[in-house]
Structure 1
Amino acid sequence: MASDVAKFAAPLSQGFGYGIIIGLGFAFALVMIFITWALKRYQHEVQTSEMFSTAGRSVKSGLVAAAVVSSWTWAATLLQSSAVAYKYGISGPFFYASGACVQIILFATLAIELKRRAPNAHTFLEAIRARYGTAVHVVFIVFCLMTNILVTAMLLTGGSAVMTSLTGVHTAAACFLLPIGVVLYTLFGGIKATFITDYMHTVVIIVVIFIFAFSAYATNDTLGSPGRVYDALVAASKLHPVEGNAQGSYLTMRSKEGGIFWVINLVGNFGTVFLDNGYYNKAIAAHPVHAFPGYVIGGLCWFAIPWLCASTMGISALALEGSQRMSSEDVTAGLVLPFAAVNLLGYSGAVCTTLMIFMAVTSAFSSQLIAVSSILTYDIYQAYINPSAKGKRLVWISHMSCILFAIVMAGFATGLYYAGIGMGYLYLLMGVIISSAVFPGAMTLVWKGQNWIAASSSPVLGLAMSLIAWLVTAKKESGVLTVDSTGANYPMLAGNVTALLSPVIFSPILTYVFGPQNYDYESMRAIRKVDDTDVAAAAHIDIELIPGEATMTNAEKEEEEQRKLNRAALYSRTLTIGMVICFLLLWPIPMYGTSYVFSRKFFTGWVIVGIIWLFVTTFGVVVFPLYEGRKSIIRTTRSMVLDAMGRKSRALDGQKGYDESPSGVATPTEKEEVVDLVDLVNLGHLGDPWELVGNTHSKLEPEEAAPVQAVPLVEDEYRVLYQ
C-alpha cells in the first residue's frame, strides 16, 4: 500500500545542488591550477606526457594508499553498501567490504610484478602488447574500456540519483555537470592532480562518516547509543523479518541472500580492479619500493569505510523507518544513505551526504579519466596511429581523450537513467561483462607459459558463457527477460561466477593444446619512456630536472630497486594470501555457519571495532601521507614565502635556479650538509654560489664559476656541473 512506503522529499534547494556541483568543481580546478604552477616553479614538475600519466614514477606509499582508498570509494561504495545493510542487516556491510577489499590486497602482487616486468610501461596494456602482439592487445583494450565505461556509468548514475533526491537537481543535468570540474583539474594536473585531490576527497569522506557514526551511536535523540540501535533492530526483525536470515534477524551473519550478494560482489570486483587501468596507473606512478605497501595499506584502510558507513547508515535507516518501508526502487537507486542522513541530522545530514557523494563521484571519476586517456594515448594513438609521436602531441591527445570520454559518458549515463537502469543493476552486472578477462590478464604477468591463443580466446569464450548463464537463468527463474528479472540475485550469481571461473579452465587447456609460450619477459622490459624533450624545451626547462624524465641511468640503483622488488614480490604473495584467508574464511565463515545472532554486547563491540578501524584508516591515509611528504611540503612552502618576500631568485621555474656571480678562484670548502633533490636545484635564494656533489652541497668562497646545469645521479641526488 502507498501508506506503507516511506516518502523521500528533497530537503535542499536546487540552487544548493547546482552550487555544489559547479562551484566545488571549479574550486578544485582552481586549486589544482595553483598546485600545478607551484610544483612547476618550485619542484620542476612540468606536465610532460610522462608526468601527466605516471607522475614521474615517484609517488610514495602513503599517497598511493590515499589514492587507492579514494579511487575505490565510489558512490556505490557508500550507497550500495548501505542498501545491502538495509536489505540483509548487519551481514550486508561486512559482505560488501570483505568482498571488495581482497581484490585491492591481491592486486598488490600484480602491482609489484608490473614494476618488475615492465618498469617503463605507461599502461598494463602496453605489457600485453609487448608479450602477445596486436590480436591480444585489441581484445584487452575492449575489455579494459568496457570496465571504465561500466564504472563511470555507475558513478554518474548513482551520484546523479543522490543529487536529485537531496536537492531536486534534474538527473540528466547532474550527469552532464558532475564531470566538468573533474575534467578541468585533471587536464591541468594529470595523474598528480588525481593523487592530490583524491587525498582531499578522502579526508572529507572520512570526516563525514565519523559525523554519521557518532550521531547514530552517541548523540542522536532517537538512537544515540549502540544499545538503542540494537533494540530498534530487534523490533524491526519482528516487524518485517528477513527471509533467509537466521531467525529472520537483522543481527546475524547467517543470511542466504546476503551470501549470494557476497559471491556476486567478490567476483564482480575482481574485474573492476584487475581490468581497470586506473589501478595500474597508480602502481606505475608509485616509486618502485612504495607500490606494494601502498596497495596493502590502501586495501586495509578502505575496508573500514563501507563497513562502518553501511553499519551506521543502512542500520540507522532500518532503526528509524518504523512501519513505512523504503520502496525497492529507492533502495536500488541508492537512496538508503540519504534517507538515514536526513532522519539522523536533518538539513545538516543532507548537506553532509551531498558533499560526501560529490567527493566520491569526482575522485573516482578523475581516476577513470586518466585510465581511459592513457589507453587512448599510448595503446591506440601511439601504438597504431603515430608511433613516433613526441611528448607535446601525446599530452594533447591525453587532454582530448579526457574531454571526449567525459562527454560520451555523460550522454550514456543519461540514457541509462531514461531506460530505468540504476546504479544497483550496473553494480551486479559488471562482473558478467568483464570478469572473464581477469585470469588471462593476471597470468600475463605471473605465468610465463600462457600463449597468445589462450590469452585472446579465453576472455571472449568466458564472456559468451557468462551471458548465456546469466540470461538462461533469468529466463528459467522468471519466465521473461526484463530489467527486474535479469537483475535478480540468482541470474547475476550464475553470470558472475561463470565469467570469472570459465577462463581458469579455458586458458590452461588452450595453452597446452597449442603449446606453452615459455616467455622471458624481455620484450616487456624493452618498453621505453616517451621523448618529452619538446615539452621541456617549450617550458625552458632542462629535461634532466623534471622528475621521472632523467635519461642518465645508474646501474647500481636499478639493481638495488630490482632486489627490493624481488623481496616485495615474495612478501606480497605470502601476506596477501594470509589476509585474504582472514577476510574470506576465518572471520565470516564461522559466524555464518553457526547462525549466531548478535547479543547486545557483541553488537556494541562490533560497532566499536568499526569506529577504531576508521581511526586507523585516518592515520593511514590522512596523517601518514603528510608525514611522508613533510620535507617537500615544508620546502615548497618556505620557497613560496621567500619568493613572496623577494629573497629568492626570480629564475626558479627551470631556466636557471641559481644566482650568477663573476668567475674567480675557488677556495677550500667551508662546510658540508645533507640536502635533498629540490634544495639542490633551488639554491638561488641562499645568495651564494654552491658546489653540489653527491648528496651534499659545499659553500664556496668567495667568487666561483656559476653552475650551468644540475644532473641527476641517483634518487634525491644531483651534481651541479661548472664551466
Structure 2
Amino acid sequence: MTVATLGIAGIDLVPQGTAYGLLIGLGVLFCGVILIAIKVQKAYLSEDSATSEMFMVANRSVGTGLTASSVFSSWMWINETVLSAAMCYRYGLAVPLWWGSGLCFQIALMAALGVMAKIRVPYAHTSLEIIKMRYGWIGHLVFIVLNLTNNVFGCASMILTGSQLIYGVSGMHFVAATILIPLGVVLYTAVGGLKATFLTDFLHTAVALILIIYFTLSVLTHPEVGGLGGLYDKVVATASENYIQGNYEGSLLTIKSKGAIIWGLVLKFGNLALVVMDTAFWQKSFASEVNSTVPAYNLAAIAVFGIPWGLGTVIGLAARALHNTAIFPTYPGELTSAEVNAGMVMPYLVKALIGDSGIIAFFILLFMALTSTVSSSMIAVSSILSFDLYKTYFNPKATDKKLLRVSHIAVVFHAVFITGISIALNYGGANMTWIGYFRPILSCPGIIPLALTLFWSGQTRVAAILSPVLGFFTGLAIWLASAKSLYGVVNMTTTGEGLPALYGAIGSFFSPALYSVILSLYKPYQFDWREFLRIELADEAQLHSPESDSGAQKDVKTVKTVNAITDPEPKALSPDDAEKIANTHEKSASVPPTQLSLDDLQHPFSEDTLKDLRRWCHVAWAIFVVLVLVTFVLWPMPLYRDYIFTKSFFSGWVSVAIVWQFFAFLAVVVYPLYDGRFEIEKGARGIWTSSRKLFGRE
C-alpha cells in the first residue's frame, strides 16, 4: 500500500504503539463501563435488554435529557469536528456557519416526523414497518435497500475517515485501524441494545464536549495565536499568502464565499438524508417518552450548532495563520490538498500548539465520535435485518427470544460487513470529501416519499416504489453529466468537485416529489390512516399468543406497555382505557389482525394523550420553520455581501460560538444528569445496598 492510496502524508505525530494501546484500551474500557451499566439497569431499574422491545426501542421510556444527549452524540460525527476545521482552512469562516446551519434543521424535522409517527403508528419499531404496512413487500424491499445503503455509506465514511486519520497521525496500518474501531462497540451493542447506545452516547457526548471546549480554548489562548485579537491580526497579516479563489477579495474573513456556500448546500442535502433515511434516528424517536420527543430533538438541534461553528472557526483559521511557520509539522513543505481532504488540518495544528498530550486528546475525541456513530448504526441495521427482513419474510412467528438472537447476530454481521466496505473504499482512493459529495445523490431520493408516507394519504403504492428509484437515476445522471460538461472527463477528481455534486443532490432530492405527485394523480387512491394500527395488533398476536401466555397475562402486558408509553411516570390505566385495550386484543386474538374491520381498530392512546401529541406536532413544525428561517436566511444572508469582518465583529463572532459550546455542554451533559436523577439515585442506592450485603455489613 502506498501513501497515495490513502491520500495523506502519513507524518507520525504519535508512536504507533501508543495508537494501538489507545484504540484497544478505550474500546475495552467503554465496553466494560457499558456492560456494568447494563447489569445495574437490569438489577435495580427493572430494564432487561433480553427482550426485543427493550433491545430495539428501549421500552419507549427514555426521558428528554438522555434522548437529547443520544441524538446529539449520534449527530456529532467526525465531520463536525475534523472536517469542519479542514473546510474552514480551505474556504474561510463561512464554512463553520453553513456547517452549523446544515446540522440543526434536520434534527428539528425529525422531531416533527417522530411525533407524527407516534400519532399515526404508535407501536412501530422501525420506519420500514410503516412502509411495509402501506405499500406492501415491494415498497418495503425498496426502502430497505435505501435505508441500508444510507447506513452503510454513512457508517463506512466515518470508519474510513477514522482509519485514514489514525494512519496519518500514528502510521498504524489503516486495515488494522478499520478492524479495531468497531470491535469494542460490537460487544456492548450486541448485549445492551438501544439503551446501551443511549448510555454510551451520553458518555461519548460528555467526554467529546469537554475535549472540544479544551481544544478551542487551548488553541485560542496559545502564545503563538494570541487570543481573539491575535488570531485576527495573524490571519490579516498572512492574507496575501492565503488568497482564497471565489471569496470576496480572497479573504478568509468573509461570508461571501462561492466554495463555502456550494459545500454548505451539498452538506445540507447529505445531512438531511443521513437523518431521515437513518433508522437510528427513528428508533430514538420511538424509544423516547411521548412528551420527550420534540423537546429532546430540538434541544439537540440547537446545541449541535455550536460545535462546527466554534471549533471549526478557531482551528481552521489558526492553521491558516501558522501553516507556513516553523512550528507546523509539515514545514517547510506545503499542506497539500490531499491532506486537507483527509482532515489532517486539526491534528497538525494540535501537534504544533499542544504537543503530544494534545494528540492523545485528539485520538480520544476521534474514538468518541467514531464509536458513537458505529453503535447507533449497528442497532439501526440490526433492527432492519432482524425485524424487517427475518421476522417479516423468513420467520413471521419468531418468538421474542429468537428475534433477539437474530438481532445479536445481525450486529456482528454488520460490523464485519462495514469493515470490509471501509477497507474497499480506502483502497479505491475515496476520502471523506468525495463520499460527502456522493452520499446525497445516493440517499436523498427516499426522503420525500418517506415523509409523504406519514403526511399525505394520496401517495399511491406505485408512486412510493418508483419515485425514489427514478430520483436516484435522475440525480446520478445529472451528477455524471455535470462533471463531464464542466471538466471534460468523469473520474474521482471531477465527481468530487462541488458543482456536479450539488446539481446531482438537487436532482436526487426534488425529482422524487415530482414523480410521486404525477404517478399518484395518474391513478388516485386514498389511504386510511387507521390501517397503521394493525402493526401493533399483529405484533401482539404473534409475541403474546395463547401458546406462550394466557389471555389474562397478555392483556396485563399490553396494559403495562401502553401505560409506559403514554405516561412517563407509569400508573394504573383508567377502567375505560383498560377495557378498551382488552376488548381490542380480545378481537385480535380471535380474528387475524389483517381481517379486522377498520371500525374495530382502536388507537391505544387516550384522547388526552393524542391531543398532547398533536400540540407537540404543531410546536415541532413551528420550531422547524423558525430554525430554517434563522439559520438559512435571517442570519447568513445579510452577511453574504462585500464585507470582511472587522476585528471587533470577529471577536464577538467567535465569543458567541464559544459560549454556544458551553450551552451545548449544559444541555446534553448536565441536564440529562438532572433529568435522570431519580434513576441514578435508585441505581446508586441499589449498588450501595448490594455492596454492604456482599461485604457482610448488613
Q: Answer whether TM exceeds 0.5 for this pair.
A: yes
User: Using a 3 Å threshold, how does the CA distance of structure 1 residues 518 and 546 change in structure 2: closer, same or farther?
Assistant: closer
- Partner residue of 1:227? 229
Residue 129 (structure 1) shift? 0.8
> Structure 1 or 2: larger helix share?
2
- Partner residue of 2:371? 362
Unaligned runs of 5+ residues in structure 2 are 1-6, 326-332, 565-571, 579-604
Tell me how far apart the structure 1 counterparts of residues 673 and 156 of structure 2 sit (CA, whole Å).
Answer: 33
Residue 8 (structure 1) shift? 6.2
2:336 is the counterpart of 1:327: yes
Counterpart residue identity of residue 71, structure 1:
S
Tell me how far apart the structure 2 counterparts of residues 212 and 295 of structure 1 sit (CA, whole Å).
Answer: 26
Residue 315 (structure 1) shift? 1.7
2:31 is the counterpart of 1:29: yes
Tell me how far apart the structure 2 counterparts of residues 199 and 130 of structure 1 sit (CA, whole Å).
Answer: 34
- Partner residue of 2:653? 606
Contact persistence 1:454–1:507 (CA under 8 A) = yes
Which one of 664, 672, 677 corresponds to residue 617 of structure 1? 664
- Partner SS for 1:645: helix
Residue 271 (structure 1) shift? 0.8
Which one of 628, 651, 666 corresponds to residue 580 of structure 1? 628
- Partner SS for 1:646: helix
Unaligned runs of 5+ residues in structure 1 are 650-684, 686-723
Q: What are the Cα deviations for residues 325-378 of structure 1, in whole angstroms up to 9, with x where unaligned?
A: 411111111111111211221112211110001100000110000000001111
Q: What are the Cα deviations for residues 524-576 of structure 1, in whole angstroms up to 9, with x where unaligned?
A: 46434566679x99xxx999599858799652874332221111011111121
Residue 456 (structure 1) shift? 0.8
Q: After the TM superposition, which residues 19-98 of structure 1 pair with which residues of structure 2 at under 5 Å, given as runs?
A: 19-47=21-49, 48-98=51-101
Tell me how far apart the structure 1 counterparts of residues 212 and 354 of structure 2 sit (CA, whole Å).
Answer: 13
Contact persistence 2:135–2:461 (CA under 8 A) = yes
Residue 644 (structure 1) shift? 1.7
Q: TM-score, normalised by structure 1?
A: 0.85
Counterpart residue identity of residue 584, structure 1:
F
Tell me how far apart the structure 2 counterparts of residues 172 and 423 of structure 1 sit (CA, whole Å).
Answer: 17
Tell me how many residue pairs correspond in the alignment. 641
Counterpart residue identity of residue 11, structure 2:
A
User: Using a 3 Å threshold, how does the CA distance of structure 1 residues 547 and 311 change in structure 2: closer, same or farther?
Assistant: farther
2:458 is the counterpart of 1:449: yes
Contact persistence 2:10–2:167 (CA under 8 A) = no
Counterpart residue identity of residue 626, structure 2:
G
- Partner residue of 1:432? 441
Contact persistence 2:559–2:573 (CA under 8 A) = no
Tell me how far apart the structure 2 counterparts of residues 149 and 59 of structure 1 sit (CA, whole Å).
Answer: 26
2:211 is the counterpart of 1:193: no
Which one of 640, 644, 652 corresponds to residue 687 of structure 2? 640
Tell me how far apart the structure 1 counterparts of residues 347 and 560 of structure 2 sit (CA, whole Å).
Answer: 43
- Partner residue of 1:288? 290
- Partner residue of 2:590? none
- Partner residue of 1:315? 317
- Partner residue of 2:351? 342
Residue 519 (structure 1) shift? 3.1
User: Using a 3 Å threshold, how does the CA distance of structure 1 residues 160 and 518 change in structure 2: closer, same or farther?
Assistant: same
- Partner residue of 2:301? 299
Q: After the TM superposition, which residues 561-576 of structure 1 pair with which residues of structure 2 at under 5 Å, given as runs?
A: 561-576=609-624
Tell me how far apart the structure 2 counterparts of residues 447 and 575 of structure 1 sit (CA, whole Å).
Answer: 21
Contact persistence 2:9–2:339 (CA under 8 A) = no
- Partner residue of 2:243? 241
- Partner SS for 1:253: coil
Seq. identity, %: 35
Tell me how far apart the structure 1 counterparts of residues 669 and 443 of structure 2 sit (CA, whole Å).
Answer: 33
Residue 647 (structure 1) shift? 9.6
Tell me how far apart the structure 2 counterparts of residues 228 and 583 of structure 1 sit (CA, whole Å).
Answer: 28
Contact persistence 2:191–2:408 (CA under 8 A) = no
2:424 is the counterpart of 1:377: no
Which one of 459, 462, 470 corresponds to residue 461 of structure 1? 470
Please tell me whether Structure 1 or Structure 2 has the larger radius of gyration of its CA atoms: 1
Contact persistence 2:146–2:277 (CA under 8 A) = yes
Which is further off, 468-477 or 228-237? 228-237
Tell me how far apart the structure 1 counterparts of residues 533 and 394 of structure 2 sit (CA, whole Å).
Answer: 21
Tell me how far apart the structure 1 counterparts of residues 544 and 634 of structure 2 sit (CA, whole Å).
Answer: 54
Counterpart residue identity of residue 280, structure 1:
W
Residue 200 (structure 1) shift? 0.5
Contact persistence 2:262–2:502 (CA under 8 A) = yes
- Partner SS for 1:420: coil
2:228 is the counterpart of 1:181: no
User: Using a 3 Å threshold, how does the CA distance of structure 1 residues 589 and 384 change in structure 2: closer, same or farther?
Assistant: same
Tell me how far apart the structure 2 counterparts of residues 60 and 83 of structure 1 sit (CA, whole Å).
Answer: 36
User: Using a 3 Å threshold, how does the CA distance of structure 1 residues 587 and 229 change in structure 2: closer, same or farther?
Assistant: same
User: Using a 3 Å threshold, how does the CA distance of structure 1 residues 113 and 6 change in structure 2: closer, same or farther?
Assistant: closer
User: Using a 3 Å threshold, how does the CA distance of structure 1 residues 45 and 532 change in structure 2: closer, same or farther?
Assistant: farther
Residue 192 (structure 1) shift? 0.6
Q: After the TM superposition, which residues 527-676 of structure 1 pair with which residues of structure 2 at under 5 Å, given as runs?
A: 527-528=536-537, 529=539, 548=561, 555=577, 558-592=606-640, 594-646=641-693
Q: What are the Cα deviations for residues 285-314 of structure 1, in whole angstroms up to 9, with x where unaligned?
A: 101110111110011111111111211221
Q: After the TM superposition, which residues 516-535 of structure 1 pair with which residues of structure 2 at under 5 Å, given as runs?
A: 516-524=525-533, 526-528=535-537, 529=539
Tell me how far apart the structure 1 counterparts of residues 488 and 95 of structure 2 sit (CA, whole Å).
Answer: 29
Q: After the TM superposition, which residues 125-204 of structure 1 pair with which residues of structure 2 at under 5 Å, given as runs?
A: 125-204=128-207
Q: What are the Cα deviations for residues 190-219 of structure 1, in whole angstroms up to 9, with x where unaligned?
A: 11111010010111111111111111222x
User: Using a 3 Å threshold, how does the CA distance of structure 1 residues 32 and 163 change in structure 2: closer, same or farther?
Assistant: same
- Partner residue of 1:485? 494
Q: TM-score, normalised by structure 2?
A: 0.88
Counterpart residue identity of residue 580, structure 1:
V
Contact persistence 1:29–1:181 (CA under 8 A) = yes
- Partner SS for 2:430: coil
Tell me how far apart the structure 1 counterparts of residues 187 and 544 of structure 2 sit (CA, whole Å).
Answer: 25
Residue 435 (structure 1) shift? 0.2
Contact persistence 2:104–2:627 (CA under 8 A) = no
Tell me how far apart the structure 1 counterparts of residues 324 and 350 of structure 2 sit (CA, whole Å).
Answer: 16
Q: What are the Cα deviations for residues 105-160 of structure 1, in whole angstroms up to 9, with x where unaligned?
A: 11110011111111111100001111111111111101000100110111101111
- Partner SS for 1:343: helix
User: Using a 3 Å threshold, how does the CA distance of structure 1 residues 460 and 247 change in structure 2: closer, same or farther?
Assistant: same
Q: After the TM superposition, which residues 668-687 of structure 1 pair with which residues of structure 2 at under 5 Å, given as runs?
A: none
User: Using a 3 Å threshold, how does the CA distance of structure 1 residues 553 and 375 change in structure 2: closer, same or farther?
Assistant: farther
Higher relative contact order (CA 8 A, sep 6+): 2
Contact persistence 1:58–1:548 (CA under 8 A) = no
2:409 is the counterpart of 1:400: yes
User: Using a 3 Å threshold, how does the CA distance of structure 1 residues 189 and 430 change in structure 2: closer, same or farther?
Assistant: same
